[in-house]
Structure 1
Amino acid sequence: MATAVISGPVNAGEETPTAEEKEACMEDVFRLCSSHIPDRTAITACLRSKQASLGQRCRYVISVRDTGKKSSDSR
């Protein structure tokens, strides 16, 4: 059984993905970014680069994480 780390932070200061976020993106990681497993940073970059191809739930997770990161960076 393979275990994948899904949709994690690009910067060390970002939060670790929740179980719900991992579940939302699991299928997309295996479908689009499996060559990057287990590198969480590379998986996240891959998901962001293929955002138009992501399922609705994963696209939402990535957009929320990006929006949250941008608003905290601007402080």
Structure 2
Amino acid sequence: MAEIPAAAVKRLLTKHGSELRTSGTAVELAVAAAEEYVARLAQEASASAQRDKRKTIMDDDIKKARQVVG
């Protein structure tokens, strides 16, 4: 089951896709891709916080993770 709401992803696809219509399957694939990206981002940010001996992910951890993950 998806954790990121499909409606939010569909709005983003419509907003940034020249307002073209989006198929249900395309939305499902985009949701899966977004969830994978956020999971990788969280893993990298968590590793960054742990390297700095913290239990809290900070904004700098996310910034560093974005550089690594893309």
TM-score calculated relative to the size of structure 2? 0.31
Instruction: Give 1 or 2: higher helix fraction.
Output: 2
Greater radius of gyration (CA): 2
TM-score calculated relative to the size of structure 1? 0.30
